[in-house]
Structure 1
Amino acid sequence: MLGTGLGKRIYTGDNLINISDIRYLPRWVVFIIDISILIVSLLLTYFVIMKMKSRPYDVFNYTQVSVMTVGINVLFMYLFKTYAGVIRHSTFIDLLKIMLSCLCTAAVLFILNLSFITFRGEKILLNSFIALYFLISAMFLFMFRLVVKEVFHFAREISRSDLKKRIMVLGTDEQSIAIARAILDNPKLPYHVVSFISTQDSTVGIGLPKILGKTIVSKDWFLKNTKEDLDIEGVIMVKESFEKEAMDEWIGYLLEKDLRILKAPSVQKLRSTDNANFIKTVQIEDLLNRKPIRLDNEEVKKRHFNREVLITGGAGSIGSEIINQVAKYSPSLVVVVDQAETPLYEVELQLREKFPHVKFVFVLADISNKQRIEPLFKKYNFSMVYHAAAYKHVPLVESNPQEAVRVNVLGSKNLATLSSQYNVNRFVMVSTDKAVNPTNVMGATKRVAELFVQSLQNLPENKTKFITTRFGNVLGSNGSVIPHFRKQIEKGGPITITHPDIVRYFMTIPEACELVLHAGIMGNGGEIYVFDMGQPVKILDLANRMIKLSGFEPETDIKIIFTGLRPGEKLYEELLSDDAKTLPTNHEKILISKDPVMSFEDINGLVMDMLASLETDTKFEAVAKIKTIVKEFKSNNSEYESLDK
């Protein structure tokens, strides 16, 4: 069948027919071509045998022998359906069918020959004729398919390469070759593979062996040439093929050359997806991500399978990801609490579609309202409580400290005391690195919550294990710096940074939530877990890389403006307090921070005093009471600095 577009163009008189537009030849056309090849093979065999001064047949005449030979071959070609495949997509199976049909033809002719010799003492054909015909016919049928395949491939490359983006493939390993083959075999992709880049240093320029017909160029040759000399628009890489250090090094090279950086999934992921658009542009998250933590998922599954789980802040970035990870382990019930109506509704729609087998209950409630929360503990038998609800935006919380106390302190107090009262097995609180030596109200209120939650652990009647997780900035979370920068770039700039020297630790949302889940099963109660977050990232460097990855030049296309530190903001975040000690766990990337603790009587009295006058206190009075509890809380670039004098 010819493409419908091709038939229309012939009818309308368009003589510029592109061979790559032909979808495939009809089977009967392929069959006729194959028969023609058999006839040519037979004639060539006759010619060779005659040149050897031999008579190829004895019993039958030339016409009878020809009809018999071709007829037997056609019969086996029909039986093996050698004409059924699409020629330009011929595989080893198609070639095997041809070989079998020709081999069976030769075998039948040999058997007929042997029969006539046995009963009549004469040969139908010379054995050398049969063998030569087998070799020539099989070879010509092979060649026909290989030529058609190459012609279509060449025509497609020629006709579409000018319209596609010219790219190189980074690496010559199996993953990179498989991705290159996937690009070459998919005409819908807007990319044309020019060559491969060897990741090894070499003095050889061009001239290394080819892969898939594409030249391999050495690393040093690539680095010596400019973008214009290379005549490409971008480079594609398989992220899983590179260590983080090597990937960062190559990203640096490519950004210097102003090349577009593309990423492709591993071969395993490519096989498991039907999405043709598997090539994505490298994002800044790819550069900041580290090797994921690998822990005992079986133990996590045991802790959640067929259990009832409560998750607060479920409509937020962290809370919603915790739900996703918990739901994979088939809990009997997941109760999701949040006070943000629209985000909670959106999360509900997503989760019910993604996990139809899991029972969810979505509760619109404020965790500071104990009368609203306690009925949930009465009704359900929670095994795990994940507390991710909090006010977290530093400048906003700095201006509204009373609300921070109400949600971050009172809300945490309500959930923790109810968990102990109703014998919840484990209570896991999500905290922040801003709680360490806090310089802002948000971090200080989270530290108060940490102290209160820890104090419950040693109460005589308590059976709940209280666990705290503390980590840094989360990539892509609501209000985080990367989505903010991305929006500013989309608007054409400028990018606003508070200070040229400000640095932050980063981790991905799945990473953060995996830590939360594993901390829940590792803890014996009372621990604060901190995560080895690698090296801190300079926000100015982050902005520059994001601009370059978006195809722009910093300061030329997108300006960067420094606005000054915001109230309560630090230049450097800390994961451990000055007087904290760390203990190792059974995983090298997770540590226990041994921060100073307070007795329940002391912290409860201070918290109750603070909450008693919360409605009437001014914001300065509220902050002063927080400072009474958190002695190391020293305000920075804030109106509350006067309270520290």
Structure 2
Amino acid sequence: MRSKIVSSIKALLKAQMLPDFSIRTLVIFIMYGIMIVASFFSAYLLRFDFNFKILGEYNPIGFLFVVLAVKYFYLLIFGQFKGLMTFFHIPDVIKIFWVMMFSAVTLLALNYFLFFNAGVPIIPRGVILSDMLLSMVIFGSARIVMRMYRERSMVEKGATHSPKRVMIIGAGDIGTSLAADLIARKNLGILPVLFLDDDPQKWGKQIMGIEVAPLEGNMSNFVSGFKIDRAIIASVRFSGQRISKIISALHKIGIETSIVPSYHDLASGRVKASLLRDVDIEDVLGREPVKLDDLAIDKMIQGKIVMVTGAGGSIGRELCRQIASKSPELLIMVDHCEVQLFQVEQEILDYEFGAKIKPLVGNVADEARMEAVISKYRPNIIFHAAAHKHVPMMESQPGEALKNNTLGTWILAGVASRNNVEKFLLISTDKAVNPTNVMGASKRLAEKAIQAMQSRPGNKTIFVAVRFGNVLGSSGSVIPTFKKQISHGGPVTVTHPEVTRYFMTIPEAVGLVLQCAAQAYGGEIFVLNMGEPVKVIDLARQLIRLSGLEPDVDIQIKIIGLRPGEKLYEEIQHKNESLVDTPNPRIYGFVSEMPSYGEVEKIISDIKKNVDTKSVNELKRFIFTVVPEYKAQFYD
């Protein structure tokens, strides 16, 4: 037992605390030593009114070595040999406080129990306490001086360029934090000169010496009066419509606009100038941040083994990110593409969440592989995001859609049920409602598969499906296509002027998926409230304007006609489904008469018989027999 404890301590020291030896480490070691000695002797002199004779009487030299050893130990424990000395923020202040606090407690204990019993003269307690306070001041002051020197050097390097004058839209915590960072980092050449805010109580006042003006004021007057070069939107309270209005007003007077990261990006820390980016379509179409029951989600994931299929895809990747941040015991990431799996593994490691992860290559339709994975790792929760989603491609290859989307779901759900997985959540799509394409029909069958699995004899797993529409920024989204067309000078191609779609950002959608899993009881189909549908042609126009161009002037929009299997609009509810309330207004719950296990088992058996032997049109006719609401489009 003792050897295990010792080896654990050694491993911890090696992994977390011991710095790589270098000249820099040696310099820091010597510098810390000088500060410790200076603080210790200053504490003695303060305690005895600068009576130097007292040093000879108490002979503190022997105790000084103990002080050095103790403080070096705690400096090592709290990582003070690994940090950059010229970067000093509140977390560093807190660490120095704990270093000196633990050192003082340890020295008081040693002073009493060890030296008193050994007959060594006791160092006055006042000296140890004074030393603690002096050390905090000396160490903190040294770090502040180093930071000031670094910032001054950076200013001198960038002094040859006149700074860009910016106005920050939003004078709340985010805007003021950003302004503070810009002021501190003058080498960036960005000078905040004006805040715009919609809070009347702030108007006419100053924050950090910067005036606050009404957001609804005359933008042109602000720009000319303060000689503004650029604007930065720094508030997560603004709706997409509000952001669009602000950008439009600024665009008319020739002012470029940047924006702080999204709400989900900001959750991890302080706003910094390095995180600024151009306004994107996600900002314009986004809504107010989703309010989630974080306690319920944390309780569901913390200390649990969670498995995500399709981990390398857009939705699967964000699921892995958000799950890893909530301290699971193990995150199992499954994908059939080893390249995407490697990429998401590196991404999760880069975030340094501290979660244990296990990337596994595997196909969800391979029953033996899924059985081996689930029986070995015993996941508590499975998020099934693996799917073929490309509508036109699946139209010409319905067998592949049925294999991956339908059979894969049935196989994985069956293995989960037999192994008593606690929860199984299927990522579905609004295209599964009254489907007009093979992809949507195959996902509708996947929904039936998990509903039937809920009634499987002996089943203890909670099965649930979540439908949502188009996700901004996903691999299957229209946004990357539009951006590429704009970068090439156009035209931007739209299939029909009246086509509408529901849109949601990836982090927002995944947050709601986790919320659905936390509140599921079994057999439900949840639908995410994605707001009002957006005309795709309007989306194209917004993207063109965000690129600093004018639609139909600089970039043409070309109507090319609906593709095979494409709808003019998407639906969220099947005619046989009834709406039920959920605790979250952004989540709809639908219930319907669930298919029996035997009924769906027969459908699965028929799919296995036909999937590799029938023609495209024959498979579509077969799908119609098992999904009567499917509106098939046949090839000649």
Could you tell me which of 227, 234, 251 is aligned with 2:247? 251
Q: Which moved more, 1:454-463 or 1:437-446?
A: 454-463
Partner residue in 1 for 2:500: 503
Q: How far is the alpha carbon of 1:239 from its aligned partner?
A: 2.2
Secondary structure of 1:617's aligned partner: coil
Largest Rg, 1 or 2: 1
Task: Give the conservation status (yes or no) of the 8 Å contact 2:174–2:235.
Answer: no
Could you tell me which of 233, 239, 242 is aligned with 2:235? 239
Amino acid at match of 1:277: S
Partner residue in 2 for 1:280: 277
Partner residue in 2 for 1:191: 190
Partner residue in 2 for 1:348: 345
Amino acid at match of 2:396: S
Task: Give the conservation status (yes or no) of the 8 Å contact 2:298–2:326.
Answer: yes
Partner residue in 1 for 2:481: 484
Q: How far is the alpha carbon of 1:506 from its aligned partner?
A: 1.1
Could you tell me which of 429, 435, 439 is aligned with 2:432? 435
Alignment of 1:255-334 (within 5 A): 255-264=251-260, 272-273=269-270, 275-334=272-331
Alignment of 1:139-178 (within 5 A): 163-171=162-170, 175-177=174-176
1:614 pairs with 2:611: yes
Question: 1:488-546: per-residue Cα shift (whole Å, max 9, x none)?
Answer: 22233222211122111111112222222222221111000111111111212212121
Task: Give the conservation status (yes or no) of the 8 Å contact 2:161–2:189.
Answer: no
Task: Give the conservation status (yes or no) of the 8 Å contact 1:170–1:199.
Answer: no
Amino acid at match of 1:237: I
Q: How far is the alpha carbon of 1:323 from its aligned partner?
A: 1.6
Secondary structure of 1:368's aligned partner: coil
> TM-score, normalization: structure 2?
0.69
Q: State the alpha-carbon separation in 2 of the partners of residues 271 and 473 from structure 1.
A: 26
- What stretches of structure 2 of length at least 5 have no aligned partner? 1-151
Alignment of 1:100-111 (within 5 A): none
Alignment of 1:460-479 (within 5 A): 460-479=457-476
Task: Give the conservation status (yes or no) of the 8 Å contact 1:327–1:355.
Answer: no
1:420 pairs with 2:429: no
Q: State the alpha-carbon separation in 1 of the partners of residues 358 and 167 from structure 2.
A: 50
Partner residue in 1 for 2:511: 514
Q: Which moved more, 1:512-521 or 1:240-249?
A: 240-249
Alignment of 1:10-25 (within 5 A): none
Secondary structure of 1:167's aligned partner: strand
Amino acid at match of 1:242: F
> In structure 2, do the counterparts of structure 1 residues 181 and 369 end up closer, same or farther at CA, with 3 Å as the change threshold?
closer
Amino acid at match of 1:387: H
Task: Give the conservation status (yes or no) of the 8 Å contact 2:193–2:226.
Answer: no
1:639 pairs with 2:596: no
Question: 1:75-103: per-residue Cα shift (whole Å, max 9, x none)?
Answer: xxxxxxxxxxxxxxxxxxxxxxxxxxxxx
Q: Which moved more, 1:173-182 or 1:449-458?
A: 173-182
Partner residue in 2 for 1:370: 367
Amino acid at match of 1:639: F
Secondary structure of 1:358's aligned partner: coil
Q: How far is the alpha carbon of 1:333 from its aligned partner?
A: 2.4
Q: How far is the alpha carbon of 1:171 from its aligned partner?
A: 4.6
Partner residue in 2 for 1:119: none
Q: State the alpha-carbon separation in 1 of the partners of residues 266 and 335 from structure 2.
A: 34
Amino acid at match of 2:491: P
Amino acid at match of 2:182: I
Q: State the alpha-carbon separation in 2 of the partners of residues 485 and 258 from structure 1.
A: 24
Question: 1:283-342: per-residue Cα shift (whole Å, max 9, x none)?
Answer: 111122223333332332332233222221111111121122222232222222211121
CA-based RMSD? 3.3
Aligned length: 482
> In structure 2, do the counterparts of structure 1 residues 552 and 226 end up closer, same or farther at CA, with 3 Å as the change threshold?
farther
Partner residue in 1 for 2:137: none
Amino acid at match of 1:338: D
Amino acid at match of 1:240: V
Q: State the alpha-carbon separation in 2 of the partners of residues 456 and 362 from structure 1.
A: 27
- What stretches of structure 1 of length at least 5 have no aligned partner? 1-152, 202-206
Partner residue in 1 for 2:558: 561
Q: State the alpha-carbon separation in 2 of the partners of residues 313 and 528 from structure 1.
A: 20
> TM-score, normalization: structure 1?
0.68
Q: How far is the alpha carbon of 1:452 from its aligned partner?
A: 1.4
Task: Give the conservation status (yes or no) of the 8 Å contact 2:178–2:271.
Answer: no
Partner residue in 1 for 2:17: none
Partner residue in 2 for 1:84: none
Q: How far is the alpha carbon of 1:476 from its aligned partner?
A: 0.8
Secondary structure of 1:188's aligned partner: helix
Q: State the alpha-carbon separation in 1 of the partners of residues 387 and 252 from structure 2.
A: 41
> In structure 2, do the counterparts of structure 1 residues 334 and 541 end up closer, same or farther at CA, with 3 Å as the change threshold?
same
Task: Give the conservation status (yes or no) of the 8 Å contact 1:505–1:573.
Answer: yes
Partner residue in 2 for 1:204: none
Q: State the alpha-carbon separation in 2 of the partners of residues 360 and 259 from structure 1.
A: 45
Q: State the alpha-carbon separation in 1 of the partners of residues 510 and 495 from structure 2.
A: 28
Task: Give the conservation status (yes or no) of the 8 Å contact 2:324–2:353.
Answer: no
Q: Which moved more, 1:570-579 or 1:465-474?
A: 570-579
Partner residue in 2 for 1:335: 332
Task: Give the conservation status (yes or no) of the 8 Å contact 2:177–2:271.
Answer: no
Q: State the alpha-carbon separation in 2 of the partners of residues 292 and 171 from structure 1.
A: 16
Partner residue in 2 for 1:110: none
Q: State the alpha-carbon separation in 1 of the partners of residues 295 and 362 from structure 2.
A: 33
Q: How far is the alpha carbon of 1:382 from its aligned partner?
A: 2.0
Task: Give the conservation status (yes or no) of the 8 Å contact 1:227–1:258.
Answer: no
> In structure 2, do the counterparts of structure 1 residues 586 and 198 end up closer, same or farther at CA, with 3 Å as the change threshold?
closer
Amino acid at match of 1:167: V
